[in-house]
Amino acid sequence: MKTPDQVLIERITNKDNAAFYEFYNRYAALLYRWAYNRVGSEEITEEITQEFWAQFWLHPQQIKTDASGNAKNYLLHFFTYRVLDYIRAHLSKKIVSNSGDDFDLLSRTLIYTHISEEIEEKEIYTLIDEIIATLPDLTQKVFNHRWRDDLSTEETAKLLDIDEKAVYNRMYVAIGAIREKVSLMLQEGDNMNKIKTINALAIWYSLMR
């Protein structure tokens, strides 16, 4: 019987090596793929994931679990912000576009990062869903396979029987729609709740490279 994540985390807090390696083997591939699909570099992905696991060993209690003792959703949520931390610290051409608009969009949200840590994951997904639902059916499918199902561009193209260029083009449209919404909300942001929402969207946009 598989040991619940919650139990493993409790054991890791007490520096149980076996528990750490069991938890690592359970989620290492998922987090690696999650990061690689967003930064597109094996070297950078290695840096991000190695740093994450080192910090997890030191502070495992930062990862929470749901009512059933499963850590997956919170782990991905937490890890996403660690990827963003790397982007903020290493604003390189490999990760973030050097266009003025993109840099300005990301920069204007950084001061609210500590607030964004408290955003419910479902709130972010709801906002993204509302935007994507306005797009053509094929664009929605491409977006969902790439970012919901975490499929590669090649896998998405094969599944939908389209070429990889079409996948790139559809993702460009989807990301553009998110960017437009973020820009509009930035202009209209006038209260803390809206700022939290803006930051959530901006973080998603910054990771969708």
- All residues at 6 or more sequence positions from 209 whose CB lies less than 8 Å from its CB, including other chains: 38, 39, 40, 95, 96, 97
> What string of DSSP letters covers 176-195?
HHHHHHHHHHHHH--SHHHH
pLDDT of residue 31: 92
How far apart are alpha carbons 83 and 66 in whole angstroms? 22
Model confidence pLDDT, tens digit, residues 100-110? 444 444 444 43
Residue 78: Cβ within 10 Å count:
17
pLDDT of residue 14: 95
The two structure tokens encoding residue 58: 């030191």
Within a 13 Å sphere around the CA of 2, how many CA atoms are in the beta-carbon half? 10
Which among 59, 70, 67, 66 is positioned nearest to 27, based on CA atoms?
Answer: 70
pLDDT of residue 13: 95
- All residues at 6 or more sequence positions from 116 whose CB lies less than 8 Å from its CB, including other chains: 81, 109, 196, 199, 200, 203
Residues of the chain with pLDDT under 70: 87-124, 186-209
How far apart are alpha carbons 167 and 142 in whole angstroms? 6
> What are φ and ψ of residue 64, in 5° steps?
-95, 170
Q: Residue 10 in contact with residue 72, Cβ under 8 Å? A: no
Q: Residue 12 in contact with residue 23, Cβ under 8 Å? A: yes
Q: Which helix (H) or strand (E) holds 16?
A: none
pLDDT of residue 103: 42
Topology annotation, domain 5-89: Rna Polymerase Sigma Factor; Chain: A (1.10.1740)
Q: Where are the domains of the chain?
A: 5-89, 100-207
Mean pLDDT (the chain) is 77
Topology annotation, domain 100-207: Arc Repressor Mutant, subunit A (1.10.10)
pTM: 0.53
